[in-house]
Structure 1
Amino acid sequence: MKASELREKDEKALQEERSSLLKAQFGLRMQKATQQLTNHSQLKKVRRDVARVMTVLTEKASSK
Structure 2
Amino acid sequence: MKTAELRELDAEGLAKKLGETREELFKLRFQHATAQLEKTHRLRQVRKDIARLLTVQNEKKRQA
Please give the TM-score of this superposition, normalised by the length of structure 1. Answer: 0.98
After TM superposition, give the deviation of residue 7 of structure 1 in Å.
0.3
* Distance in 2 of aligned mates of 1:9 and 1:42: 23
Identity %: 41
Please report how far the alpha carbon of residue 43 of structure 1 lies from its aligned counterpart in structure 2 after TM superposition.
Answer: 0.3
1:15 maps to 15
Moved over 3 A (4+): none
Match of 1:24 in 2: 24
AA at the equivalent of 2:31 = Q
2:52 corresponds in structure 1 to: 52
Q: 1:5-54: CA deviations, max 9, x gaps?
A: 10000000000000000000000000000000000000001000000000
Number of residue pairs the alignment of both structures matches: 64
- 2:37 paired residue number: 37
Structure 1's unaligned 5+ residue stretches are none
